[in-house]
């Protein structure tokens, strides 16, 4: 093929179109990535566009210093843009997740890609200069340049970003840049000294980008895994909450609406402390009620008592009880407790269910999420405990998860007082659960609670001696004044908000 | 244009385009939800005005007839029943009793159509306390200084919040962006009202009592009636803008009138009369239910079921020598029935009396012409989900908007014990007080559903931009003559005093007689009329209306 033939000219002009679309793609990818990771899209887009244009200006200016070997330089610049721009998205992702200094890397990448892209067009013009009158040249090149940019600006939001994702989009356009380089290499093969060296570079770049495309998903996961620290085993969004189960080494954790519910490493401490001091104090207990606690871990502990005939578990979320009844990773944790013929799962609102039922129980476990809002606060009100009282057999015992007496001391004593106001004898106690810290419980019974002198076999935490220690409150957790939590004040929600706010600030 | 400019333009256009697309996505107005205007009273009103009723085709004898099944009529029936008297009927033109305290019910919840709460009854509201004790709301001694109320019926926290300056404030007084001098004036106003609350008249009675009949009559106190509430504030050097908003809101909310249209005596009464205490509750807590006072209506209805005669319009009332004749039209069968009674308790709005009651004395007819009525519009919006909460105080029972001519909304599911609620009903209130009542009433009745629906959704979309898409149904009730207006000069004026003098055989018993409309007044008027009837019939009873030996 002869230099100057119309087909060569068209080919070069077409590559202008490709180059232009690649250039804009990198700019948009950087902008979108920054707004995705940093938020505030208007700021991110405008600073990135600004930096990019500035860098292109530098590139154009630098182009005057390229005097010899125009075509070889052009090819090398294309390769550099392809590699750098192509890998910009996955690389920035990884940097954000693993290395920090993300902003610095971002603007550095934008700056360098911008400089290189700024060099491209002046060089192409100079290559084509011999072919066209200057006037036509400028008009043709710039028209295609604009058209390429326009194409991408339309494709990017409609097709590329939503369907390919940012990483694959940038890699794909990097590949296009490299293909332009390869094509130029082939077109000008006669005029180029040191071809082999350039060809080697081309092939290496092509291979790298292809590999990148294949591995794009893996790269993204690598970054996301790092962002969420632990491996996410399962997520479910139910009408009531977002359930997330994570694993880090052998530790499985359950989060409900981002609040840690248990860590498999130490949940036995929590659930043994929740169940045994109360249940062992009701010899021969037959009917047990669990309110909340859809994870079945309290049920697992209750099943240690052969006298128990029937356990009714009332939990709002059917998805939650279904998961903990059937998911193999989770049933290992509760020893298939929810599939026990003794366990009866009811998916209902606990308050409503208690209102509509008349059954009584020998032992009642009240294990609700902390009173973080006015809705949950109702489950800690005197009206609620009066209802619990109606469902408790004469010699029965109830136990209530009572938040942390250390971090939320007034909340803890507020709940204890509120339970007492419903006509109960109350016995507050606390246990250390590493995942939570110091945690509190309150026993409620009609007669004073008799401390059990023995517990079921095989417990890892609860013994008569540890329970005796649980009953002791050091001065920093000891009783303080608190009002009764009533529905018309919901004072507990205020206490709780204030106290945990202070914890977070420390 | 060079390449840089071009790219810059493109980038800007992309950002702007993105922002626009986002807005489009979020600002797209969904179509109006389905909905209707409910209630038959307007067409019935027309009928009454033109007196198009067939002549009676049957005659019955009923010793006591109660016309109107609102709180006043039902309370009268309740009192008769407690005295062991059972020969009475309650005629109600609507298909359901309850009047302004009616309620509705859908798959989500029960909800109010009008009256939605009851403050703790004062010592003087003996009948209300007895009624609440009867229904288990008040536990123990009904006359205790600090009675015990079932906590399920005391308004749950958080009670109220105010949307002002793009932010929800806890309570009805803005807390952010209020100047020091506003706060000082607010405090001074509260002190002033506290003094009025403690004040006693020359006869030892409270200066401002509920029921209003128990208030002192000292001339300097009654003089307040000739002033408007706005002028009262200004005379006391109170000119703070948020304070004026607050007092104006209270008047609009309770009386359906702006504060410049409300008697200062009545305005002060709002702040100074509610001094009742309750065990384990603040004295400004209130009693409420998902269906508002409709819950009390349901209890009354259960008790009075055999006496209720709904879909029955009393259209002619005439005093014969030995009996009173009451003709009623029964819409279902399209026929009229004549009843002969010894006594009639008129518990329908007063303005209807002259049309129906032929022999009403001219002086009384003239006095009734002095009664003006505020038109109200109430909407119930069913929501498939709760709107997203933005900044500030959390969703409360009563939610009020500062910059709105409406009164805000009440959340029907708030008083439910269930912790998780997916759907809800908002009850939106609007007293049309910016035009003279007749004109406002015409506007109320002539404006089509579509226009109201748009207005309501616009009003509520300011704090809740996502609300419109959540509404699955929007129904309206128009209360043309919702409540009597306590305008200056009226409350202690001659017209009302004249009508308070008891007649022998037709006893007026509507809340209108009190000059303003609340549950306690309706109940008091009904019970008082029932006691007069019992006296006339020679049936013994223990009075619920005597506190100081006066009524
Ligand atoms: C929108 C709204 C909100 C309110 N909110 C509250 C509140 O929160 N708390 C509060 O205490 N008060 C509130 N009120 C005031 C309320 O009016 C009183 O509480 C009380 O319900 C009035 O009762 P009543 O029996 O005196 O009158 P009405 O409720 O007017 O009862 C009169 C009855 O007579 C019937 N009737 C009329 N004409 C005839 C006829 N010719 N034949 C047969 N029957 C007839 C009517 O249909 C009606 O049922 C509110 C009022 C409205 C309109």
Token pair, residue B163, equals 């949307």
Residues ≥6 apart with Cβ < 8 Å to B304: B74, B77, B78, B81, B90, B97
pLDDT tens-digit map of A364-393? 999 999 998 999 999 999 999 999 999 999
Residue appearing with tokens 């807005």? B23
Mean pLDDT of chain B: 92
Contact B207, B200 (CB under 8 A): yes
The reply to whether B76 falls in a domain is yes
Residues ≥6 apart with Cβ < 8 Å to B198: none
Q: Is the minimum CB–CB distance between B199 and chain A shorter than 8 Å?
A: no
Cβ-Cβ contacts under 8 Å, B137 against chain A: none
Token pair, residue B9, equals 């333009």
pLDDT tens-digit map of A322-348? 999 998 889 999 999 999 999 999 999
> What DSSP element (H or E) covers A330?
helix A328-331
CATH topology of domain A6-223: Growth Hormone; Chain: A; (1.20.1250)
Q: How far apart are CA A177 and CA A173, in angstroms?
A: 6
Backbone angle region of B463, left / alpha / beta, with phi > 0 → left and psi within -120 to 50 → alpha: alpha
pLDDT reported for residue A184: 85
B115 touches ligand 1 (CB under 6 Å)? yes
Q: Which of B8, B280, B419 sits opposite A53 (nearest CB)?
A: B8
Token pair, residue B525, equals 């008027």
**Number of domains observed in the structure of chain B:** 2
Residues ≥6 apart with Cβ < 8 Å to A474: none
Give CA angle at A415 (A413, A417), nearest 5°: 65
pLDDT reported for residue A230: 62
The reply to whether B392 falls in a domain is no
Q: How far apart are CA B108 and CA B412, in angstroms?
A: 9
Backbone angle region of A249, left / alpha / beta, with phi > 0 → left and psi within -120 to 50 → alpha: left
Where does a domain end: B225, B257, B272?
Answer: B272
pLDDT tens-digit map of B230-282? 999 999 999 999 999 999 999 999 999 999 999 999 999 999 999 999 999 99
pLDDT reported for residue A28: 87
Please report, for the domain that includes residue B229, its CATH number. Answer: 1.10.405
Contact B545, B534 (CB under 8 A): no
Q: What are phi and psi of B113, to 5 degrees?
A: -110, -10
pLDDT reported for residue B550: 40
Cβ atoms < 10 Å from Cβ of B536: 15
CB contact under 8 A, A378 and B157: no
ipTM of the complex: 0.84
pLDDT reported for residue A195: 80
Listed ranges A100-114, B8-22, B28-42, B279-293; the one with the highest mean pLDDT: B279-293
Burial of B84 (0-12, 13-18, 19+ CB in 10 A): exposed
B349 touches ligand 1 (CB under 6 Å)? yes
Residues ≥6 apart with Cβ < 8 Å to A483: A414, A417, A489, A491
Token pair, residue B457, equals 């959704």
With b meaning 16 or more CB within 10 Å and e meaning fewer, what string describes B125-140?
bbbbbbbbbebebbee
Whether residues B166 and B259 share a domain: the answer is yes
Where does a domain end: B272, B295, B330?
Answer: B272
Residue appearing with tokens 């939590």? A485
Contact B311, B95 (CB under 8 A): yes
pLDDT reported for residue B463: 94
Q: How far apart are CA A466 and CA A453, in angstroms?
A: 11
Token pair, residue B51, equals 């007196």
Q: Tell me the HSE value of A248 on the side-chain side, using a 13 A CA sphere.
A: 9
Q: Which CATH number fits domain A264-505: 3.90.550.10, 3.40.50.150, 3.40.50.920, 3.30.750.24?
A: 3.40.50.150
Cβ atoms < 10 Å from Cβ of B166: 12
The reply to whether B479 falls in a domain is no
Contact A335, A300 (CB under 8 A): yes
For residue A18, the SS3 value is helix
Token pair, residue B462, equals 């300011």
pLDDT reported for residue B497: 96
Cβ-Cβ contacts under 8 Å, A121 against chain B: 3
Q: Is the minimum CB–CB distance between B359 and chain A shorter than 8 Å?
A: no
First CA to last CA distance, chain B: 90
The reply to whether B291 falls in a domain is no
CB contact under 8 A, A316 and B152: no
The reply to whether B283 falls in a domain is no
Pairing of strands A425-433, B286-287: unpaired
Judge whether residue B23 has pLDDT over 50.
no
- Which ligand 1 atom minimizes the distance to the CA of B98? 49
Cβ-Cβ contacts under 8 Å, B290 against chain A: none
- Which ligand 1 atom minimizes the distance to the CA of B292? 8
pLDDT reported for residue A435: 87
Q: Tell me the HSE value of B528 on the side-chain side, using a 13 A CA sphere.
A: 28
Q: How far apart are CA B146 and CA B126, in angstroms?
A: 13
pLDDT reported for residue B274: 95
Q: Which of A56, A156, A240 sits opposite B4 (nearest CB)?
A: A56
- In a mutagenesis test of the A interface, which of B5, B11, B158 is the best target, namely the one with the most A β-carbons within 10 Å? B11
Q: How far apart are CA A190 and CA A38, in angstroms?
A: 49
Contact B88, B63 (CB under 8 A): yes
Average pLDDT over residues B72-83: 98
Judge whether residue B148 has pLDDT over 90.
yes
The reply to whether B182 falls in a domain is yes
pLDDT < 50 stretches in chain A: 1-4, 228
Please report, for the domain that includes residue B320, its CATH number. Answer: 3.50.50.60
The reply to whether A367 belongs to the active site is yes
Whether residues B199 and B260 share a domain: the answer is yes
Burial of A438 (0-12, 13-18, 19+ CB in 10 A): middle
Backbone angle region of A173, left / alpha / beta, with phi > 0 → left and psi within -120 to 50 → alpha: alpha
- Which ligand 1 atom minimizes the distance to the CA of B482? 53
Give CA angle at A315 (A427, B415), nearest 5°: 85
Q: What are the C-alpha distances in Å from B526 to residues B70, B127, B512, B550?
A: 9, 10, 11, 17
Residues ≥6 apart with Cβ < 8 Å to A137: A125, A128, A129, A131
Whether residues B260 and B331 share a domain: the answer is no
Among chain B residues, the shortest Cα distance to A28 is held by B11
Where does a domain end: B220, B254, B272?
Answer: B272
Token pair, residue B391, equals 């900044």
Q: What is the band of B1 on the pLDDT scale with cuts at 50, 70, 90? A: very low
B246 touches ligand 1 (CB under 6 Å)? no
Q: How far apart are CA A55 and CA A436, in angstroms?
A: 51
CB contact under 8 A, B418 and A153: no
> What DSSP element (H or E) covers A131?
none
Range of the domain at B200: 160-272
> What DSSP element (H or E) covers A183?
helix A165-187
Whether residues B172 and B268 share a domain: the answer is yes
The reply to whether B470 falls in a domain is no
B194: closest CA of chain A, how far (Å): 23
CB contact under 8 A, B151 and A382: yes
pLDDT reported for residue B93: 92
Domain assignments of chain A as residue spans, ordered by start: 6-223, 229-261, 264-505
Q: What is the DSSP letter of B159?
A: -
Q: How far apart are CA A355 and CA B495, in angstroms?
A: 51
Q: What is the DSSP letter of A294?
A: T
pLDDT tens-digit map of B432-458? 999 999 999 999 999 999 999 999 999
pLDDT reported for residue A226: 57
**Which residue owns the Cα nearest ligand 1 atom 1?**
B114
Whether residues B205 and B63 share a domain: the answer is no
pLDDT reported for residue A305: 98
Contact A305, A337 (CB under 8 A): no
Q: What is the band of B18 on the pLDDT scale with cuts at 50, 70, 90? A: very low
Q: How far is the CA of B113 from the centre of ligand 1 (A)?
A: 11
Q: Residue B211, preceding bond cis, omega within 30 degrees?
A: yes
The reply to whether B104 falls in a domain is no
CB contact under 8 A, B15 and A42: yes
Residues paired with B117 in a beta bridge: none
Q: What are the C-alpha distances in Å from B196 to residues A78, A267, B173, B271, B492?
A: 87, 60, 21, 9, 18
Q: Is the minimum CB–CB distance between A374 and chain B shorter than 8 Å?
A: yes
Residue appearing with tokens 């009664």? B371
Mean pLDDT of chain A: 88
- In a mutagenesis test of the B interface, which of A487, A491, A492, A493 is the best target, namely the one with the most B β-carbons within 10 Å? A487
A352: closest CA of chain B, how far (Å): 6
Burial of A104 (0-12, 13-18, 19+ CB in 10 A): exposed
B260: closest CA of chain A, how far (Å): 34
For residue B275, the SS3 value is coil
Q: How far apart are CA B429 and CA B240, in angstroms?
A: 26
- For B92-199, strand residue ranges (E) read 103-105, 110-112, 118-119, 138-139, 148-149, 160-164, 167-170
| Active-site entry in A315, A317, A367, A370 | A367
Residue appearing with tokens 């922002």? B19
Cβ-Cβ contacts under 8 Å, B280 against chain A: 484, 486
Within 48-77 of A, beta carbons closer than 8 Å to B belong to: 49, 52-53, 56-57
For residue B96, the SS3 value is coil
pLDDT reported for residue B465: 92
Q: What is the DSSP letter of B281?
A: B
For residue B370, the SS3 value is coil
Helices (H), B109-214: 126-134, 180-198
């Amino acid at each position: 093929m002869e230099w100057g033939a119309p087909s060569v000219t068209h080919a070069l002009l077409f590559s202008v179109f490709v180059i232009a679309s690649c250039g804009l793609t990198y700019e948009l990818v950087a902008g979108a990535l920054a707004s995705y990771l940093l938020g505030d899209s208007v700021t991110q887009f405008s600073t990135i566009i600004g930096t990019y244009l500035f860098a292109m200006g530098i590139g154009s200016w630098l182009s005057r210093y390229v005097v010899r070997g125009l075509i070889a330089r052009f090819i090398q610049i294309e390769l550099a843009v392809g590699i750098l721009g192509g890998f910009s998205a996955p690389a920035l992702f990884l940097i954000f997740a693993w290395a920090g200094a993300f902003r610095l890397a971002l603007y550095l990448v934008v700056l360098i890609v911008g400089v290189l892209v700024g060099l491209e067009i002046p060089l192409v013009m100079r290559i084509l200069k011999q072919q066209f009158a200057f006037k036509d040249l400028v008009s043709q090149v710039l028209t295609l340049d604009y058209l390429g940019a326009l194409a991408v600006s339309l494709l990017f939001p409609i097709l590329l970003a939503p369907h390919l994702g940012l990483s694959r989009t940038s890699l794909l356009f990097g590949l296009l840049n490299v293909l332009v380089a390869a094509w130029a290499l082939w077109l000008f093969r006669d005029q180029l000294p040191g071809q082999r060296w350039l060809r080697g570079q081309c092939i290496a770049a092509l291979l790298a980008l292809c590999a990148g495309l294949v591995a794009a998903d893996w790269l993204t996961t690598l970054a996301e895994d790092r962002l969420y620290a632990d491996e996410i085993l399962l997520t479910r969004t139910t009408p009531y909450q977002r359930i997330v189960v994570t694993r880090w080494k052998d530790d499985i954790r359950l989060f409900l609406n981002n609040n840690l519910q248990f860590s498999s490493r130490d949940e036995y401490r929590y659930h043994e402390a929740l169940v045994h001091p109360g249940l062992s104090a009701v010899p021969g207990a037959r009917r047990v009620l669990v309110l909340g606690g859809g994870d079945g871990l309290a049920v697992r502990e209750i099943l240690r008592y052969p006298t128990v005939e029937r356990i009714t578990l009332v939990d709002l979320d059917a998805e939650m009880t279904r998961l903990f009844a059937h998911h193999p990773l989770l049933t290992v944790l509760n020893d298939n407790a929810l599939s026990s013929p003794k366990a009866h799962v009811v998916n209902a609102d606990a308050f409503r269910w208690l209102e509509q039922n008349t059954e009584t129980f020998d032992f009642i476990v009240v294990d609700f999420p902390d009173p973080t809002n006015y809705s949950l606060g109702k489950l800690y009100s005197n009206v609620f405990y009066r209802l619990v009282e109606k469902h408790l057999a004469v010699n029965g015992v109830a136990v209530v998860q009572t938040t942390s007496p250390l971090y939320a001391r007034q909340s803890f004593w507020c709940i204890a007082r509120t339970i007492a106001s419903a006509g109960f004898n109350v016995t507050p106690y606390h246990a250390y659960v590493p995942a939570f810290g110091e945690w509190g419980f309150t026993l409620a019974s009609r007669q004073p609670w008799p401390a059990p002198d023995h517990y079921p076999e095989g417990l890892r935490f609860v013994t008569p001696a540890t329970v005796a220690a649980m009953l002791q409150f050091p001065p920093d957790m000891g009783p303080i004044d608190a009002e009764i939590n009533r529905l018309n004040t919901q004072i507990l929600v205020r206490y709780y908000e204030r106290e945990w706010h202070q914890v977070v600030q420390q | 244009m060079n390449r840089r400019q071009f790219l810059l333009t493109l980038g800007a256009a992309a950002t702007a385009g993105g922002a626009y697309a986002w807005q489009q996505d979020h600002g797209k107005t969904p179509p109006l939800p389905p909905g209707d205007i409910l209630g038959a009273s307007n067409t019935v009103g027309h009928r009454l005005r033109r007196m198009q009723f067939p002549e009676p085709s049957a005659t019955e004898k009923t010793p006591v007839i109660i016309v109107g099944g609102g709180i006043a009529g039902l309370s009268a029936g309740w009192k008769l029943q407690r005295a062991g008297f059972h020969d009475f009927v309650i005629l109600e033109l609507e298909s359901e009793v309850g009047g302004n305290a009616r309620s509705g019910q859908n798959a989500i919840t029960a909800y109010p159509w009008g009256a939605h709460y009851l403050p703790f009854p004062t010592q003087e509201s003996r009948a209300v306390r007895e009624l609440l004790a009867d229904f288990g709301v008040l536990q123990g001694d009904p006359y205790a200084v600090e009675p015990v109320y079932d906590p399920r019926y005391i308004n749950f926290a958080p009670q109220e919040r105010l949307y002002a300056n793009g932010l929800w404030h806890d309570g009805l007084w803005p807390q952010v962006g209020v100047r020091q001098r506003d706060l000082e004036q607010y405090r001074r106003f509260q002190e002033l009202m506290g003094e009025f609350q403690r004040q006693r008249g020359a006869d030892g009675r409270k200066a401002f009592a509920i029921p209003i009949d128990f208030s002192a009559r000292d001339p300097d106190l009654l003089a307040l009636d000739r002033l408007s509430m706005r002028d009262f504030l200004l005379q006391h050097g109170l000119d703070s803008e948020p304070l004026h908003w607050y007092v104006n809101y209270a008047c609009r909310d309770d009386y359906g009138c702006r504060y410049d249209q409300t008697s200062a005596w009545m305005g002060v009464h709002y702040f100074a009369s509610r001094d009742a205490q309750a065990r384990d509750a603040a004295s400004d807590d209130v009693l409420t239910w998902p269906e508002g006072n409709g819950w009390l209506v349901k209890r009354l209805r259960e008790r009075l079921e055999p006496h209720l005669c709904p879909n029955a319009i009393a259209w002619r009332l005439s005093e014969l020598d030995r009996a009173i004749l009451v003709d009623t039209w029964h819409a279902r069968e399209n026929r009229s029935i004549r009843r002969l009674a010894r006594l009639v308790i008129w518990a329908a709005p007063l303005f209807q009396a002259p049309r129906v009651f032929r022999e009403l004395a001219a002086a009384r007819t003239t006095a009734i012409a002095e009664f003006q009525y505020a038109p109200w519009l109430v909407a119930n919006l069913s929501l498939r989900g709760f709107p997203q909460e933005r900044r500030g105080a959390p969703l409360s029972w009563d939610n009020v908007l500062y910059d709105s001519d409406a009164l805000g909304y009440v959340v029907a599911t708030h008083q439910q014990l269930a912790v998780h609620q997916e759907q809800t009903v908002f009850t939106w209130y609007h007293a049309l007080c910016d035009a003279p009542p007749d004109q406002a009433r015409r506007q109320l009745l002539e404006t089509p559903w579509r226009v109201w629906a748009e207005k309501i959704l616009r009003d509520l979309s300011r704090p809740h931009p996502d609300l419109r898409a959540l509404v699955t149904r929007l129904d309206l009730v128009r209360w043309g003559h919702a409540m009597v207006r306590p305008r200056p000069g009226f409350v202690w004026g001659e017209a009302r005093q004249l009508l308070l003098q008891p007649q022998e055989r037709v006893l007026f018993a509507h809340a209108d007689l009190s000059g303003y409309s609340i549950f306690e007044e309706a109940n008091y008027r009904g019970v008082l009329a029932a006691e007069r009837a019992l006296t006339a019939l020679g049936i013994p009873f223990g009075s619920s209306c005597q506190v100081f030996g006066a009524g």
